[in-house]
Amino acid sequence: MAKKLVIKVTAGADAPERCSQAFTVAAVAVASGVEVSLWLTGESAWFALPGRAAEFELPHAAPLPDLLDSLLTGGRVTLCTQCAARREITERDVLKGVRIAGAQVFVQEAMADETQALVY
């Protein structure tokens, strides 16, 4: 069984079920003691900004702010460099604990020993 989980979420409010699933799986993995790295790409990039997760709504789903808080506390959250640049998001703009990094770091994490990568 993989000891580390790298999850790339590409969806945001444009595909709420896929987005929620990624955050839910990541948060459950953290709660289960798995080392988790969640990557915010595409439309999910907006959730790196304060208050944006609170705007997300999906019936019968765990609140996105709660899931994000658990990931910031127990895992690692990364905003894609290119996605941030396209949206004019800088390190000064993001939530505390969110880092900005690019494809090289993602590949390095995803290819590490005992790691499973998932893309939503």
What are the tens digits of pLDDT across the range 44-85?
999 999 999 999 999 999 999 999 999 999 999 999 999 999
**What is the DSSP track for 80-91?**
EHHHHHHTT--T
Length of the chain: 120
Q: What is the DSSP secondary structure assignment for residue 112, as one 8-state letter?
A: S
Q: What is the pLDDT of residues 97-119, one digit of tens each?
A: 999 999 999 999 999 999 999 99
* E strand or H helix that includes residue 30: helix 16-31
Strand order in the sheet with 35-40: 98-101, 76-80, 35-40, 4-9, 115-119
Q: Which amino acid is at 96?
A: K
Task: Tell me the pTM.
Answer: 0.95
How far apart, in Å, are the Cα atoms of 60 and each of 1, 50, 82?
30, 23, 32
